[in-house]
Amino acid sequence: MTELLSPIELLAQEEGHQEGLEEGRQARRADILEILEVRFGEISAELRAKVDQLRDDEALSRGHRTAITTSSPRVFLELL
* Comparison of pLDDT for 58 and 15, the residue scoring more: 58
Q: Over 90: is that where the pLDDT of 3 sits?
A: no
**In-domain check, residue 15:** no
Query: What single letter denotes the amino acid at residue 56?
Result: D
Number of domains in the chain: 1
When pLDDT is cut at 50, 70 and 90, the band that residue 1 belongs to is very low
Domain range for 54: 42-80
**In-domain check, residue 78:** yes
Query: What single letter denotes the amino acid at residue 37?
Result: E
Letter string b/e over residues 35-64, b meaning 16 or more CB atoms within 10 A of that residue's CB: bbeeebeebeeebeebbeebeeeeebeebb
The per-residue pLDDT for 16 is: 76
* Comparison of pLDDT for 7 and 67, the residue scoring more: 67
**Mean pLDDT taken over the chain:** 89
**In-domain check, residue 79:** yes
The per-residue pLDDT for 2 is: 47
pTM of the full structure: 0.78
**In-domain check, residue 25:** no
